[in-house]
Structure 1
Amino acid sequence: MTPGAPDDRAHPHPLLPGATPATIHTWLATAEDRAGFVAEYDDALERARRELDISGVHEVIERWRRVALLQSDPAGFRHVVRYAAELATGAASPDDEPLEVTRRKAGI
């Protein structure tokens, strides 16, 4: 670390493993993603109540934490989405294609 540089360990990224559902919700980039997270989280909580097993809740939280972490770097997220769409379709997406269209192609 350079002298005078802030210590990143003192302020770890809020989306590291163990992030709370509220933190994940805050960092999701779109209203659609936030609504999707809440719906899946609610479903997982309901299943956990019925089955007395919270493993599904943890799986939902971890999957959406990764999405939020990717979205915390908009340029990086766009690159990942474009690459996934290219893998899924076999063709590069146009540079001016809206991200939501590319996401649908990629299944993200």
Structure 2
Amino acid sequence: MTAQHHEPGSARAVRQIRASLQADRSPRNIRACLPAADREGFDTDYREALRRAGDELDLAPLHACVEAWRRTAILKADADDYAQLVQTAERVQQRADRGEPTGGLPWDDAFAERLRARLSTGG
């Protein structure tokens, strides 16, 4: 199953995209599920990861690149939700820059928790 990226506000398309990214983790599907504005960045990163994998004879850079972009596609499947996430992150960063306590989890833990929750609900 593959999905083309959606227009903002389409809840059904969001579910389809996220389900597609769970079922098909291929670079082709990940790229198709990304917003158009991110596809050039994906292409650049993917080609660089392919080059590094070839130079180093190690697929780890390629796997890391593909997984990072898959997570990006999952998060950006709902443009409004992603915008809220970015705004929240900016507010937390501003507090941290001022030396104020930010509370909460480290970014990697929060991201992993949010991603698990989304994937478990199929959304």
TM range (shorter): 0.5 to 0.7
Match of 1:21 among 27, 34, 43: 27
Greater mean deviation of Cα atoms: 21-30 or 58-67:
21-30
Give the root-mean-square deviation of aligned CA atoms: 2.0
**Is 2:46 the partner of 1:41?**
yes
CA deviations on 1:27-78 (whole Å, 9 max, x unpaired) are 11142x2111111110010011111100100000000100100111122111
Which deviates more from structure 2 when the two are superposed, residues 13-22 or residues 53-62? 13-22
Structure 1 portions without partners, runs of 5+: 1-11, 91-108
Determine helix, strand or coil for the equivalent of 1:16.
helix
CA distance in 2, matches of 1:17, 1:56: 22
Partners of 1:27 and 1:68 within 8 A in 2: yes
Q: Give, as a single letter, the amino acid of the residue that structure 1 aligns with 2:88.
A: Y
Q: TM-score under structure 2 normalisation?
A: 0.58
Correspondence for 1:58 among 63, 85, 89: 63
TM-score by length of 1: 0.66
Larger deviation: 63-72 or 81-90?
A: 81-90
Q: Which runs of 4+ in 1 moved over 2 A?
A: none
Secondary structure at the counterpart of residue 19 of structure 2: coil
Question: Deviation at 1:18?
Answer: 5.3
**Unaligned 5+ runs, structure 2:** 1-17, 96-123
Question: Residue 89 of structure 1: CA displacement?
Answer: 2.0
Greater relative CO (CA pairs within 8 A, separation 6+): 2
How many residue pairs get aligned? The number is 79
Q: Distance in 2 between matches of 1:82 and 1:46?
A: 34
Q: What residue is the counterpart of 2:84 in the other structure?
A: 79
Query: Percent sequence identity over matched residues?
Result: 35
Give SS of 1:19's match.
coil
